[in-house]
Chain A
Amino acid sequence: MTIWTIIITYRVALLAGLFVTLKLCLIIWFAGILVGAILGYLGSKYRREVGTPSRAVAFVLSGIPILVLLFWLHYPLQAMLRISIDPFFTAAFALSIINIFSVADLVRSALLNFPSQYNLAAKVCGLSPKTTFLKIEFPIILRQIIPSLLSLQVTMLQLTLFASLISVNEIFRVAQRINAIIYKPIEIYTALAIFFLIICLPLNGIALWLKHKYTRDISEN
């Protein structure tokens, strides 16, 4: 069986797995970017009340391997609470939390490190606070964080593979199950690698290009 035959034969299962992966990704990306941006903004504005606790949580989370967090949320926590949650939601929750705090950290740092001299120049030019935010702060901050934000989202996509370990039927688990039936690990995992390359490489490429472009543009010199 070639890679193509496997893909064609198991296309329904693979598409279903792909759909689950994409659904998981969209939830993680959406929650992470939206909630993380808000949390990051609040963290820069209310440093003691929001910023410090949010950094502390991010610090603690960075010390817990994703797999441990996933397993802990899926097995002991649910056993202690005597509840049973669909593993898809457990995975979505765990990965969203990681993404939210990572994005918040990025946004907060960018806001706190925003060069205040550009605001000073806006002030003496008589710009309104609205124009200063929309035309000066926002575009500069966006240019600063977009490359890292994209790289982070690619990493989150890759982390969705861990969801397979708590029985989420995402694409990696589907591939494992197909392999269990036909035992063609080389073809199956090569196909999987190609799939991830097709999705991740362009995103990483864009991130690199943006980083190169905007890291230069952000400096006046």
Chain B
Amino acid sequence: MLIGQKITKEYQGQEILKGVDIKVESGKITSLIGPSGSGKTTLIRALSMLDLPVSGEIILNKEKYKFPLQGNSIIKPWPKVSVVFQQLFLWPHLTLRENILLSLDDLKNSRDISELIDILQMGEFIDRYPNQVSLGQRQRAALARALALNPEYLLLDEITSALDVEQINIILNYLLVLRNKGMGILIVTHLLNFAQKASDNIVFLDSGKVIETGGSEILEKPQHERTKKFLSIVKQAT
């Protein structure tokens, strides 16, 4: 299990995360929803230990880290914990195939990626460079790059924003397969249907605080006023 407890994070004196508790359980999909600027991306970075929290605890399976760190260093959690960023960060000088294979080669992992290419329907453009394909195609490539490493925990930051309904469905179904295989998935999304279909848990974050958590029923019957307001705005917009 990947757990964040009382996570706080500051940037330039401003508190972005204010004691956030979150759990990413193996074999479950947790959706993180909330307005822009609520701290979702910061939370993903903190939870993946790319950007260490100011205070709080992160527990990754049996490893426990208390922040601020006192003497002990972090055992790098990557690629056991992998992240797909909203901006994707594909390496621009490599083709999409090379983007996927580079980390496998470095980790001496001889996994065949052809199945992944088929599932994500990337065959037609896999040998192109990132600047030669659409945003939706890049999103699938970035997801494939993370999935190729077979992480235990996968943190996805708004990776479906440029996908059409059909592509979202492909990804949703594949995430469900991965969940059933035991992968723990945290996904930031504004797509409420996607969250409802895929999620075991939903966390609503606002102004750096967890406002409400629960199963997919909180999308239908939110308890907190802030959640109700946010969901009604999102529903109107979609």
Asked if B129 is at the interface (CB within 8 A of a chain A CB), the reply is yes
Asked if B149 is at the interface (CB within 8 A of a chain A CB), the reply is yes
Contact B85 A217 (CB under 8 A): no
- For the residues of B in contact with A, the DSSP-based class is loop
Closest A residue, CB atoms, query B90: A220
User: Which residues of chain B (128-156) have a CB below 8 Å from chain A?
Assistant: 129-131, 138, 145-146, 149
List B contacts of A219 (CB < 8 A): 92, 131
0 or 1 for each of A115-142: is its CB under 8 Å from B? (1 = yes): 0011011111111100100011001100
Range of interface residues on chain B? 20 to 34
Contact B85 A125 (CB under 8 A): no
Contact B93 A124 (CB under 8 A): no
List B contacts of A128 (CB < 8 A): 106
Q: How far is the CA of A35 from the CA of B170 in the complex (A)?
A: 53
Asked if A143 is at the interface (CB within 8 A of a chain B CB), the reply is yes
Asked if B107 is at the interface (CB within 8 A of a chain A CB), the reply is yes
Asked if B174 is at the interface (CB within 8 A of a chain A CB), the reply is no
Asked if A5 is at the interface (CB within 8 A of a chain B CB), the reply is no
Contact A136 B82 (CB under 8 A): no
Contact of A126 among B48, B78, B88, B89 (CB under 8 A): B78
Contact B79 A125 (CB under 8 A): yes
List A contacts of B131 (CB < 8 A): 216-217, 219-221
Asked if A77 is at the interface (CB within 8 A of a chain B CB), the reply is no
Asked if B87 is at the interface (CB within 8 A of a chain A CB), the reply is yes
List B contacts of A126 (CB < 8 A): 76, 78-79, 103, 106-107, 149
0 or 1 for each of B26-50: is its CB under 8 Å from A? (1 = yes): 0000000000000000000000101
The listed residue with most B CB atoms (<10 A of its CB), out of A121, A143, A218, is A121
Query: Assuming the A-B contacts A117-B85, A216-B131, A220-B138, are A125 and B103 also in contact, with contact meaning beta carbons closer than 8 angstroms in the complex?
Result: yes
Contact A217 B93 (CB under 8 A): yes
Contact B88 A220 (CB under 8 A): yes
Contact A120 B106 (CB under 8 A): no
Q: How far is the CA of A120 from the CA of B83 in the complex (A)?
A: 10
- What are 20 of the A-B contact pairs (CB < 8 Å)? A118-B89, A120-B85, A121-B90, A124-B78, A124-B79, A124-B83, A125-B103, A125-B106, A125-B145, A125-B149, A126-B76, A126-B103, A127-B102, A128-B106, A136-B91, A139-B93, A220-B88, A220-B89, A220-B130, A220-B138
